[in-house]
Chains A and B, each alone.
Chain A
Amino acid sequence: MNPSLPNYLKKQEGKRLFDLGDIACAWGALYAKCSFYAGYPITPASEIAEFLSKELPRTGGRFIQMEDEIASMAAIIGAAWAGARSMTATSGPGFSLMQENIGYAVMTETPCVVVNVQRSGPSTGQATKPAQGDMMQARWGTHGDHEMVALCPNSAQECFDLTVRSFDIAHALRVPVLLMLDGEVGHLRETFDLKLPETGLNLPKPPSPSDAPPFGGNPVPPQVLFGEGRYLHVTGSTHKPDGTRDVTTPEVHDQLVRRLCRKVDQNRHALKDVEKDIPRNSKTVVLCYGAPSRPAAAAVEEARKEGLKAGYLRLRTVWPFPGDELEKLPRSVETVLVPEMNLGQMSREAERFTDRKVVCASKVGGVCHTMREILSKLREVS
């Protein structure tokens, strides 16, 4: 279930590498003891599959290239019930195909990690260019009521760190975790260390598998697996705590779906992960995530040199959305500026939590914002 790190990886621990964000993510998977990967080629995520096809077998894990992303998502869920720590990686079009089975993972409480290296859409769009157009698809892509956990790195090091964290969260809460890279971060080449991060997340320990029901009772039920002689019944249909199907009793569905949402919601503070620098007298706060947060940080620094009172708030956990951070902004803040590589997805979410003016600095077309672009927007709104 949770094997120790293979010697092959122990030997390389602490090494500093210079490589793609995608590759840092794949290294993170190895150090998170990922034991199963299924995927389908797609730009700009293929490097993750290529790397793991070579390295995963060296750590005792298994890799398979499936016929499409639907099958990839299905296979990682099947493998998880067989005891694997499993993962897939894709980009927008494949992420769309995975949505039904992501919902299945939510409903059956299957721990797994889905990496989406976002590219410019809709449809085939600019297949090789980066975007952040899937932020709302991550939140609401699968049908039915649900909560979602999604993380968003902005450097190669964070690709490594947050991949490890994604596995931790997936297994602590028995949920699928979405790791939302963008093509810019995935194809960014920089240094990173093969060093396991301090998780820092205060997640609940799931009850140990005993006679407790595997699909109810506790907010996070114990993880029982195939092969333990429990005659597990796993279904995406509405089910009772023992796993057997009951699709007609209103209370059974109500209790199940509310519990599935509650187990994420009641851990929203443990899951919260922001980087912030909001001085008391700030007038404008830049709210950002992923690739645009890099030029945004530089723009805030420049703006301060010019005398503008600017703050910086970056989301590493994007879902659940840390609305409380916006609710408790200093009174001096008049504007929240959101640079994002879409036409305004997270900025719209921000509007739900603050009465200040929210301005989206959109950029689409497959190119990330420059520092100057964000700086001039900062001047404009300040």
Chain B
Amino acid sequence: MDHPLVKYLRPGTIPSTFCPGCGCGMVLNCLLSAIEKKKVDPKDIVMVTGIGCSSWIPSPMFKCDTLHTTHGRAVAFATGVKLMMPDKKVLIIAGDGDLSGIGGNHLVHAAHRNIDLGVMMVNNRIYGMTGGQCSPTTPSDLYTTTTPYGNLDQPMMAAELMVSAGANYVARWTTYHVRQLTKAMEELMQGEGFRFLEIISQCPTHFEKDSKRTPTEILDFYKENSIPVAEAKEAYDGQLGSRLTVGALAERKRDGYMRRLEAVERKLRADMEGEAQKNAAGTREGKK
């Protein structure tokens, strides 16, 4: 018997191209579980992805309309899709390098626009597909293939950045928290405005190259080092050894971009009709 979620996959995409122990499979499983639970028709979803390991979750695995775009630009492509398909759920899956590095500007602006997109940032804190280079979320001092003397940068806090940029919904969970992740993905699909989920995910191949931790050891580490936002005494700073604050960082009820746009369009249509009626009345007056 097939796995109950296999029906959502394009035929021939299993086995996947992910490394053994990669978190991307777990992210896919959570997403499909959320879709199953909320009875969302995949025909109502458009998936937009960028370049990187996690962009290969929907492209080609998830069977729905999929736009696999250039590196970093998924959010900008998705903005065009959403504007012309307001009834679809437009979801983005991409990595930390794609969304917070090369595409950081688009991410900030989509959040400040509060446009109705759901973004899942799979944060493995490294460039996996290109062979383990330092990314904007890589912890300081870490050795990567492009930081042979240790990373000089501070890790970018993408979720916190999204809160200050004005996103309606922002949450962070890890691949250990599969139930909470699934729930957060339901939030991405049902709410209004810009919705952002940071998923701390393991990359046993590159990020753990020196630590040699196994995937289960990493998940145990996530479990032991996570603390709910409300209970955290110190802010998570993305560094190794810092406690991962998990949960919802923002849950706002501001009107989304599409609602605001549609209101403007409704008013414009009414004004134009009013104008046309006035002109028609004027013409009749003139004829008398």
Within 8 A of A (CB), among B73-90: 73, 76-85, 88
Flag whether A104 is at the interface (Cβ < 8 A): yes
Whether A36 and B68, one on each chain, are in contact in the complex, defined by CB atoms closer than 8 angstroms, is no
B73 and A36 contact, CB distance less than 8 A: no
Bound state CA distance, A68 and B102, in angstroms?
Answer: 13
CB pair A233–B265 under 8 Å, yes or no, is no
Determine how close the nearest CB of chain A comes to the CB of B32; give it in whole angstroms.
Answer: 15
- Are A36 and B65 in contact, with the CB atoms below 8 A? no
Is residue B70 within 8 Å, beta carbon to beta carbon, of the partner chain? yes
Q: Are A71 and B79 in contact (CB under 8 A)?
A: yes
Asked whether any CB of chain A lies closer than 8 Å to the CB of B261, the reply is yes
Q: Is A35 interfacial (CB-CB < 8 Å)?
A: yes
Known: A57-B265, A245-B59. A236 touches B69 (CB 8 A): yes
Taking a contact as CB atoms under 8 Å apart, the answer to whether B76 and A74 are in contact is yes
CB distance from A283 to the nearest CB of B (A): 50
The closest CB in chain B to the CB of A228 belongs to B65
| In the complex, per-residue mask of A24-48: 1 if CB is within 8 Å of any chain B CB, else 0 | 0000000000011010000000000
Partner of A79, one of B43, B60, B64, B83: B83
- Interface centre among B70, B109, B261, by most chain A C-beta atoms within 10 angstroms, is B70
Q: Are A79 and B73 in contact (CB under 8 A)?
A: no
A104 CA / B73 CA spacing, docked (Å): 11
Q: Is the CB of B43 within 8 A of A78?
A: no
**C-alpha gap A83/B65 in the complex (Å):** 13
Main secondary structure of the interface of B (DSSP, over half): helix
B68 near A235: Cβ-Cβ < 8 Å: yes
Cross-chain contact B80 with A82 (CB below 8 angstroms): yes
Q: Assuming the A-B contacts A36-B84, A231-B10, are A78 and B79 also in contact, with contact meaning beta carbons closer than 8 angstroms in the complex?
A: yes
Q: How far is the CA of A57 from the CA of B268 in the complex (A)?
A: 8
Contacts of A81 in B (CB 8 A): 65, 67, 81
Q: Which of B10, B68, B265 has the largest count of A CB atoms less than 10 A from its CB? A: B68
Within 8 A of A (CB), among B116-144: none
Shortest B58–chain A CB gap in Å is: 9
The answer for the CA separation of A212 and B189 in the assembled complex, in Å, is 32
Q: B94 at the A/B interface (Cβ < 8 Å)? A: no
- Please tell me if the beta carbons of A86 and B80 are within 8 angstroms of each other in the complex: yes
Contact of B60 among A38, A230, A245 (CB under 8 A): A245
Contacts of B78 in A (CB 8 A): 78
* Contact status B65-A76, CB under 8 Å: no
A72–B46 Cα distance when bound, in Å, is 19
List, in ascending order, chain B residues with CB within 8 A of A231's CB: 10, 42, 63-66
For window 44-72 of chain B, which residues contact chain A by CB distance below 8 Å?
A: 46, 48, 59-60, 63-70
Task: Tell me the minimal C-beta distance from B118 to chain A in angstroms.
Answer: 15
Number of interface residues of A (CB under 8 A): 42
The one of A35, A74, A234, A235 that contacts B73, using a Cβ cutoff of 8 Å: A74
B152: interface (CB < 8 Å): no
Give the complex CA separation of A235 and B261 in angstroms.
29
Alpha-carbon gap, A38 to B105, bound state (A): 16
B106 within 8 A of A: yes
CA–CA, A229 to B10, complex, Å? 14
- Kindly list chain B residues whose C-beta atoms are within 8 Å of the C-beta of A229: 43
| Contact A71:B106 (CB < 8 A) given known A78-B80, A81-B81, A234-B68 | yes
User: Does B272 interact with chain A (Cβ within 8 Å)?
Assistant: yes
B64 neighbours in A (Cβ, 8 Å) = 231
Instruction: Give the chain B neighbours of A236 by CB distance below 8 A.
Output: 68-70
Asked if A36 and B80 make an inter-chain contact with CB atoms under 8 angstroms apart, the answer reads yes
* Interface residue stretch chosen among A58-66, A178-186, A249-257, A347-355: A58-66
CB pairs A–B below 8 angstroms (13 shown): A66-B76, A67-B106, A72-B76, A74-B76, A78-B82, A79-B81, A81-B81, A101-B70, A227-B85, A236-B68, A236-B70, A244-B60, A245-B59
Instruction: Please name 19 further chain A to chain B contacts, defined as beta carbons within 8 Å, in addition to the given A70-B76, A79-B80, sorted by A numbering.
Output: A58-B272, A62-B83, A70-B73, A70-B106, A71-B73, A71-B76, A75-B76, A75-B79, A76-B80, A77-B80, A82-B81, A83-B85, A101-B73, A227-B43, A227-B65, A227-B85, A231-B63, A234-B68, A236-B70
B-to-A contact residues, CB < 8 Å? 10, 42-43, 46, 48, 59-60, 63-70, 73, 76-85, 88, 105-106, 108-109, 261, 264-265, 268, 272
